Chains A and B, each alone.
Chain A
Amino acid sequence: MPICGSETRSWGVERIRANCLWDNDNDTVVDEGANAGEFSIAVIDTGVYYDTYSHAYHPDLQDNVYPDGKYFYCSYGQLTISSNYWDYFNHGTHVSGIIAAVDNEIGVIGTAPYANIYVLRVDGNLKSDKAIAMAAAIDWAVDNHFYIISISMGIDANYSVLQEACDRAYASGMLIIAGAGNSDGPIEYPANYSAVIAVGAVNATLGRWNPPDLPSGPLGSCFGDQLELVAPGVSINSTANPDVYPYQYYMEMEATSMACPHVAGAAALIWRSKIDPEFDSNSDGYWQNTEVRAKLRDWALDLGDPGRDDYYGYGLINCWAPNQRPLGDINNDLKVRVDDVSLAQAAYGSEPGHSNWDPRADINIDNKVRVDDILIIALNFGKTDP
C-alpha cells in the first residue's frame, strides 16, 4: 500500500472513542489544544522500523518516536544491551502505530497521536532469557522515569526476576500494561502479575477474540482473575515495516498484542488530562498510577457477566468519558450547557449507521445514545471545568 491518500482511523480507535477527545469535530484532524496524550510511553517489544540509511522512522511515527532506543538481548543468562532496535519482526512497529501514529494526512492515527514512544526491544534464547531481558528493560524504564510501559509480549511461565521487576516498577509509580496472551487459557506473564494491567482482545462486535482452535492447542484471548480490561484486537490496521514487507507501510494484525497498545494510549490520555478530584486518592493534585488504573477500570464498558469477570475483566476501555472536563461536556468546551444537551437530544435513540448517530453523545460507549447518556449530562448540567 503506497503512502498516499487520506488518513483513516482504525475501528479500534473509534470504538474506544479516543477520537472524540482529540477530534471532536470529526474531521480526522487533531483539534487545536486538544488532549492527544502528549506523554512518554516505553514500548517493550520487537523494536521499531527505521530507514537504515537516513534513520528516518515510519512516516506515521517520525514525530513521535524518540531518536534512539535500546535492545536488551539475553542468551543463556548473559544479558547485553545495545542500540540495535530495528524491527525485524514488524510487530513493535505495528504496536507503536496503534499507540501513537501521528495526524499527518496519511495512513492511520493512533489512540494518543501526541504520545512519545521510547523503544525498548527485547529478545532472548530460552524462556528464562526472555524474562531476564524483559525485566532489564522494565528496570531501565524505571531508572529513566517513564510512567507507562506497554508490553505486547508474554511468556507462559513465571520467573521471579520478571515479577520483581514489575513490582519495583509499580511501586515506583509506573503503570505497566501487557497483553494477556493468545492461548485461550491462563494469562501469561507479565500480564498475570497484580502489578500489571492484563488486557484481552475483543472483535468489532465486542465478542472475546476466540478464533477456531489450532491443532496444537486452543487459540483465543487468555482469561482469568487477573484479566483487567479488554480492547480492540481484531483486524487492526496500523504501521508496518516496509523493508520486511516490501512497500507495505500499513497492515492489519490481530490478537492481544494489538489490544494492549490501545490501553497504553488510553492511559496516556488520562495521565495527560487534568486530575479528576474524585480519583485523586491522595489529594496531591497529580495523577498516580493507581489513580489512573482506577479510572480506567471505573469507566470501562461492562461486557460479559455483570461486573468484573474472567473473560472481559472490567470491560472495554473507554477513552471518552474519563477525559470529559467536566463529565457530560461532549463538545469539549469545558462546560456542560444547553449545547451538550442539544447534541445528545439530536442523537437520542441512535446507533452507529443511523443518520443522527453522534458518537460524542454515547458517553458510556455502548453504541446507543439512550437515557443513561442523557442522565450523565443532566446530572452534571451547569458544571464547568474548575
Chain B
Amino acid sequence: MLVSLVVSFRSLFASRKRRAALISAALIMVLVVGTYAYLKSLPPASGPRVYVKTPFAEFYLELDKSEYQFGENITITFCVENTSNKTIEIYKGYIDGIDPSVFDEYFSTETYGVSGSGLNPYYFHFGYVIEYINGTEFENHLHGMIPATYRLFIEPEGYIKQTMAVFGSLIPLSPSTYRIVAFFSGVMQESVGIDLGTPEIIFTIR
C-alpha cells in the first residue's frame, strides 16, 4: 500500500510538464493565501476620528466613513485607554446596556486590562449625542435607565473599545448633515473625576 502511494506520488513529477503545472498551482495557492492574510491583517478602513487626551487617559470617537448612503449602517467606535502608570477606577451611577438579541451583529466590546463588576459584555460604557447640523437633537444616548452602580478598573495600557453599527437596518437617518459627539463619564483618578467629551464629527447622509 505504502509502496504504491510513493510510486504514484513520484509519478506526479515524472515529466517536466507535470512539474511545471504543480509548481504553478502551488505558487498560485501561496499567492492567494498570502494576499488573503495580508488583507486580513490590514486595519479596517477607518473614517474620521476625534480624540480627547488627558494626562491619564485617551478617549476617541471614530466613524467608519463621513458620508453614507440613505439606509446604510453607520459604524461608531468608542475607545478609552489608560495612558497613565496607575489603575483608573470608573464608577458609574447607571447601567446602560445594548441588547444582543437585537444588536448581536451590530455591537462588540473589546477590553484589555479591565476588571470590575461592570465587565459585562452587554454594558455600554459610553454616551453619545447625534444632532442635525442645525442643532436639533436626533438621539441622546447619555443616561441609562437602570439605576444601579458598577465599577471598572482599567490598568495602565488597558482599554475598553466598543463598536456599534446603527440606524441602517433599524431606521434610516433622513438625508441631511449631522454631528456626533461622544462622552465617557465617571472617571475617578485618585478621587478626582474628569468627564471626557470628544470634539464633534460631522457626517452626511446622501
Contacts and interface: CB of A to CB of B under 8 A. Distances in A.
Given A89-B120, A213-B193, A257 B183 contact: no
A83 B131 CA distance: 34
Given A215-B187, A216-B186, A152 B194 contact: no
A31 B139 CA distance: 53
Interface in A244-301: 244-245, 251, 253-258
A86 B123 CA distance: 15
Interface string B86-118: 000001111101011110000000000000010
Interface string B31-73: 0000000000000000000000000000000000000000000
Given A179-B147, A245-B120, A254-B149, A216 B99 contact: no
B195 interface: yes
Interface residues of A, number: 45
B140 interface: yes
A360 B94 CA distance: 36
B6 interface: no
Interface residues of B, number: 35
B139 A89 contact: no
Given A73-B102, A89-B120, A127-B140, A215 B185 contact: yes
A244 B147 contact: no
Nearest to B123: A89
B129 to A, nearest CB: 12
A76 B169 CA distance: 12
A219 interface: yes
A215 B193 contact: yes
Nearest to B148: A257
A75 B103 CA distance: 11
B145 interface: yes
B146 interface: yes
Given A88-B122, A89-B122, A244-B120, A182 B195 contact: no
Given A84-B101, A126-B139, A244-B120, A215 B145 contact: no
B195 A216 contact: yes
A188 interface: yes
A188 B146 CA distance: 11
Residue of A46, A214, A258 most packed against chain B (CB within 10 A): A214
B146 A257 contact: yes
A152 B148 contact: yes
A223 B121 CA distance: 32
Contacts of A213: 193
A85 to B, nearest CB: 10
Nearest to B170: A75
A228 interface: no
Interface of B: 91-95, 97, 99-102, 117, 120-123, 139-140, 143, 145-150, 170-171, 183, 185-188, 191, 193-195
17 contacts: A71-B101, A75-B171, A127-B140, A127-B143, A130-B145, A152-B148, A155-B145, A156-B143, A183-B93, A188-B147, A214-B91, A215-B185, A216-B186, A219-B91, A253-B149, A253-B150, A257-B147
Interface of A: 46, 71, 73, 75-76, 84, 86, 88-91, 94, 123, 125-127, 130, 152-156, 179-183, 188, 211-217, 219, 244-245, 251, 253-258
